[in-house]
A and B are shown apart, each in its own frame.
Chain A
C-alpha cells in the first residue's frame, strides 16, 4: 500500500465517522438549533472529506496510469466539494432564520437576544 492509498483510506474513514456523528446528533439532540449544529458542521465536514478522498484517489491513479479520465474525475469532485461547503452553510442560515420567525424557540436556552430584539 502506497502512502497516497493510506491517506485516501484515512480521509474516507474521517468522512464516514463525522457523517455518523452528525446523524447521531440529528437523532439525539433536544431541539432544532442544537440539531442544526450537528448536521451543518459534522455532515458538511464529513461529506467534504469523503469527496476529498475521491480527489486524492484520482490523483494517485493519474500518477500511476497517466490516464486523463482520472484527472477529469478529480477536478469535478473538487468542484463538488467547494459547492457543498458553500451551499450547506447558506441553507442552514436560511432554515435557522425561518424557524425562528415561524416561532420555534430554543429549548433549555439560557439567553435569547433575538427574541428580546424582536426582529
Chain B
C-alpha cells in the first residue's frame, strides 16, 4: 500500500510538471488534472513493485532525498568537470594505460550501489563493467591505472576520487 502511494505521488507530480502552464487552476487546466490523476492511478497499480522492490522506505525521508540534488550540484559536479578535462587530455595525447580493476565499496543497498556505479561511470577516467552480486564489489575499467595498482587485488573506493570523498556522501544518503 505504501509503495502504491509513493509511486502514485511520484507519477502524478511528474505529470503535473510536464503539463504546467495549460490552464487556470493554479497553472493547470481541470481536464489535465483529471487525466493525470487517472493515468497516475493506472501507472502506480502496474509499476508499484518496481519502484519499491526492496520494501525499504528509508528514501521517503525528505532529509535523505533532498541531499541528492546537493550531492549532484556540489562534489559530484566538481569531479565531473575534472573527469572531462582528463578525457579531453587523453583524447588529444593518446597517453593511456588501461586495465580492469576490482573496487570494494562496502555498500549494501541497491540505491547505494546504483549511485556509486553511476558516479564511477561519469567521473575520473573509470567506467563500471560488472558487479559481484554476493560481495557487492565492482569491476571497473580504468583508463589510466596508477603505478603499482595492477598488483593489488582489491582497491578501496575512495582512492578513485581525488577532489571530493563521494563514497562518504553516498553512504550518508543511501545507507
Direct contact of A and B (CB under 8 A): yes
Residue of A nearest to B132 (CB): A119
Known: A37-B143, A40-B121. A72 touches B21 (CB 8 A): yes
How far, in whole Å, are A110 and B10 apart by their CA atoms in the complex?
Answer: 46
* Cβ contact within 8 Å between A42 and B121: no
Which B residue's beta carbon lies closest to that of A14?
B84
Q: Which of B18, B92, B98 contacts A106 (CB 8 A)?
A: B98
Question: Is B100 within 8 A of A28, CB to CB?
Answer: no
> Is B80's beta carbon under 8 Å from chain A?
yes
B118 adjacent to A86 (CB under 8 Å): yes
User: Chain A, interface size: which category?
Assistant: 35 or more
Distance between Cα atoms of A104 and B93 in the complex (Å): 24
Chain A, 24-63, CB within 8 A of any chain B CB: 24-25, 28-29, 31, 33-34, 36-38, 40-42, 44-45
Contact A36 B127 (CB under 8 A): yes
Please report B residues at the A interface, Cβ cutoff 8 Å: 17-18, 20-21, 27, 80, 83-84, 87-88, 90-92, 94, 96-102, 117-118, 121-122, 125, 127-130, 132, 139, 141, 143, 145, 149-150, 153
Provide 17 A-B residue pairs closer than 8 Å at the C-beta atoms, listed in order of the A residue.
A21-B87, A24-B91, A29-B94, A37-B90, A41-B121, A41-B122, A71-B21, A75-B20, A79-B17, A89-B121, A92-B121, A93-B121, A96-B127, A97-B130, A106-B99, A111-B100, A113-B102
